[in-house]
Amino acid sequence: MRWNEMELDWEGIVRLCRIGKRYLVANYVVLLKKLIAYLYLYGCFTFQVFYYACNVREAVKPLSWLIVSMIQAICLVAYVVVNHLLVRYVIPHKTLLIFDALLLLALLALLQADLTVENL
């Protein structure tokens, strides 16, 4: 018997509603996971850039500057490890690599800008 030929009684309607509800809940969970993952990536990216930008300008050269740079390197490694262990199941690997590369380039640009200003 085909689906359009069977009688749609009360049990059939209830069964269809349950199937539809499970499908919608599963989609919302996937969308929520992606939203949280992208917010995590963007939030950590901006935090690390602003943290380094603010602290490297105030650091006394060379010892405090080295300490701030080492703390930032540890934060960067922790960020990359968390991304590639947890977030990669939700977000494509290519997107993670783009975020990691952009963060590294931003930190290197801040470092270069600080060194250039210091030498002027």
Residue 69 has a pLDDT of 87
Residue 28 has a pLDDT of 79
Residue 1 has a pLDDT of 47
pLDDT average per 10 residues of sequence, the chain (120 residues): 56 68 74 90 93 85 86 92 89 91 92 79
Backbone phi, psi, residue 50, to 5° = -70, -35
Q: Report the percent of the chain where pLDDT is more than 90.
A: 34
- Contact between 28 and 85 under an 8 Å Cβ cutoff? The reply is no
Query: Each residue of 67-88: b (16+ CB within 10 Å) or e?
Result: ebbeebeebbeebeeebeeebe
Q: Whole-structure pTM over 0.85, yes or no? A: no
Conformational region of residue 90, where left means phi above 0, alpha means psi within -120 to 50, and beta covers everything else:
alpha
Contacts of 94 (CB under 8 A, 6+ apart): none
